[in-house]
Structure 1
Amino acid sequence: MPYLALLFNAFVWGLSWWPLRHLQAQGLHPLWATLLFFLLGGLLIGMSRPQAWATVRRTPALWALALASGATNAAFNWGVSTGEVVRVVLLFYLMPLWAVGLAWWLLGERITRMALVRVGLALGGALLVLRPAEGGWPAFHGLADWLGLLGGVGFAITNVVLRRQAAQAPSARALAMFLGGITLPAALGAVLASQGVIPPWPPLQVIWLLPALALGTLFFVGNLALQYGASRLPVHITSVVMLTEVMFAAGSAVWLGGEVLRPTVLAGGALILLAALMASRDKA
């Protein structure tokens, strides 16, 4: 059951780009959709664990966790909704690259020789993924690639802060992450909408509200499944199983989105995944 729970979470996130694009076509921008998804979970946790509010309020480190979590989800959802899914997901999974520096800076962990090897593999993979199909120097393809990269940085910060705050109650950490998924997309969306960069909140319609609530429920159940599986399996096993999200995303992007996996993207993705696998073994 723990393995199936982790696979379910990876499946939900790996295929999330498809309903997100459907919602965007109905006028609900990914930032607004992210807000809705986390509002549902935040309300459930906030009402069932009222004591978590006080812990979050008096712990600044949990505010940092909220910001990192909000940035992670807003960037990822926006990126896969507008860009090439496989590129965005692979750039997101450069997380071990950023985790090395963050763990050294915030946790005082020593940078080992194998950590440098992982950094080299991840960088090499990123250069291949970003290499244009027609050849030439690696380059970012617009905002979506940058969002994938930003989401990975946020994910690395989230993991490091979670490790620093391991003594906090799980409900407080979860509430902080959900609050970040609500407040950051709301604030960023309000600013960008006022500047005409993204569309404003659309008129209330069943055509987007019901799918949004359904997807929000799936995300919430997926989060519970992740916590269930991760609490019953070693960290390195959890990390490996969660990498199946890349396969779910790539397969669905080819099947449903008509994307083509170029050899350089496949090679770069293999290097990035190898770096992630090495990082997971390092935690064993």
Structure 2
Amino acid sequence: MTTDSARRSALVALLLLTLVWGYNWIVMKQVLRDCGPFHFAAIRAVLATLVLVIAMALRGVPLKPPPLLGTAALGLFQTTAFQGLVQWALVEGAAGKTALLVYTMPFWLILPAWWLLHERPRRAQLAWTALAGAGLVLVLQPWRGLGGLGSALLALAAGLAWSISVVISKRMSAGGEVSALSLTTWQMGFGAIGLVLIALLVPERAIAWTPGFIAGLAYNAVLASGLAWVLWAMVVQRLPATVAGITSLAVPLTGFVFAWVLLGERPLPIEAGGIALVAAALVGITRPARQPEE
């Protein structure tokens, strides 16, 4: 696959991810009415692992695991820590603000990607990143309070865990020998073990198996945790880590739009301005670099 075609396929995958994950912030907030955060995270991870194993069997992908140490570390950060912290943050935090705090991941990622992956950011990328950061500040409006310091810190910690997982995933896929489906399946399995242990240790209320909860669980298991993380692994393999991180900011913006249309959460003018800045940064950073003229 050529560099241009790989980039185009990665951007298509990002578009699908944006829709699936953007809507899922509403789904996750709603299912917490029927289930504790850790029980939900554990169940969705176990079901997603089963869905991915079936997908591997149908596609004839060997069940041999990738390097176990790296895969276990990826599962710890990408599934156990990230998913657990996100669900915990949503207990008290608003869906839109929590999503934006979680998606500070790209800003955590810049220095590790530079030091560990040798992906030195271009000046233009740094400028677009700064513009996206300014947009996030306008949306979050920290001078008005973050709606609960505990929830905000949990969301920021989730973003940090995700950034670490991106570096691990990028290093594991550097040789091109690990398939996105295999890596996603095995890391999900390791991460699910961690979430199940947490769910067993932390007392939570009984699950209410309502039709809405079952539908939300199915959406998460098949789409948001199954298909979407395979797409994300492909994106990380085919785009520089910093670019993949910044472009993922389209997800919380889409979540804001869904909340506006479906829940009537109309953004304030200053929030709309921030969204416009982040959108402009996304357009800028996804444009291929201009080649120097000969």
TM-score (norm 2): 0.72
Higher mean Cα deviation, 91-100 or 39-48?
39-48
User: What's the offset of the Cα at 1:220?
Assistant: 5.0
User: What's the offset of the Cα at 1:147?
Assistant: 3.3
> What is the match of residue 214 of structure 2?
210
Secondary structure at the aligned position of 1:25 is classed as coil
Task: Give deviations 1:14-70, integer Å, cap 9, x for gaps.
Answer: 1113332332212x12332222222122124446356334x343xx22222112212
One-letter code aligned to 2:64 = A
> What is the match of residue 21 of structure 2?
13
1:95 pairs, out of 79, 86, 105, with: 105
In 2: Cα distance, 1:150 partner to 1:180 partner: 20
1:29 pairs, out of 28, 36, 39, with: 36
1:39 aligned to 2:51?
Answer: no
One-letter code aligned to 1:146 = L
1:108 aligned to 2:118?
Answer: yes
> What is the match of residue 186 of structure 1?
196
Assess if the C-alpha contact under 8 Å between 1:92 and 1:149 holds in 2: yes
1:161 pairs, out of 168, 171, 183, with: 168
> What is the match of residue 63 of structure 2?
51
Q: 1:197-276 maps to which residues of 2 (within 5 A)?
A: 199-200=204-205, 202=206, 205=209, 207=211, 210-215=214-219, 216-219=221-224, 222-223=227-228, 226=231, 230=235, 244-276=250-282
1:69 aligned to 2:75?
Answer: no
Structure 1 stretches of 5 or more lacking a match? 194-198
Task: Kindly tell me the number of residue pairs found equivalent between the two proteins.
Answer: 270
In 2: Cα distance, 1:227 partner to 1:119 partner: 20
User: What's the offset of the Cα at 1:98?
Assistant: 1.5
Q: Rate the CA distance shift 1:160–1:117 in 2: closer, same or farther, 3 A.
A: same
In 2: Cα distance, 1:230 partner to 1:52 partner: 22
One-letter code aligned to 1:23 = V
Secondary structure at the aligned position of 2:263 is classed as coil
TM-score (norm 1): 0.74
Q: Rate the CA distance shift 1:104–1:90 in 2: closer, same or farther, 3 A.
A: same
Structure 2 stretches of 5 or more lacking a match? 1-8
One-letter code aligned to 1:156 = S
In 2: Cα distance, 1:22 partner to 1:90 partner: 18
> What is the match of residue 129 of structure 1?
139
One-letter code aligned to 2:104 = L
Q: State the percentage of identical aligned residues.
A: 23
Secondary structure at the aligned position of 1:51 is classed as coil
Q: Rate the CA distance shift 1:153–1:6 in 2: closer, same or farther, 3 A.
A: same
Secondary structure at the aligned position of 2:32 is classed as helix
Assess if the C-alpha contact under 8 Å between 2:77 and 2:162 holds in 1: yes
Root-mean-square deviation (Å): 3.9
One-letter code aligned to 1:51 = L
User: What's the offset of the Cα at 1:87?
Assistant: 1.8
User: What's the offset of the Cα at 1:121?
Assistant: 2.8
One-letter code aligned to 2:260 = V
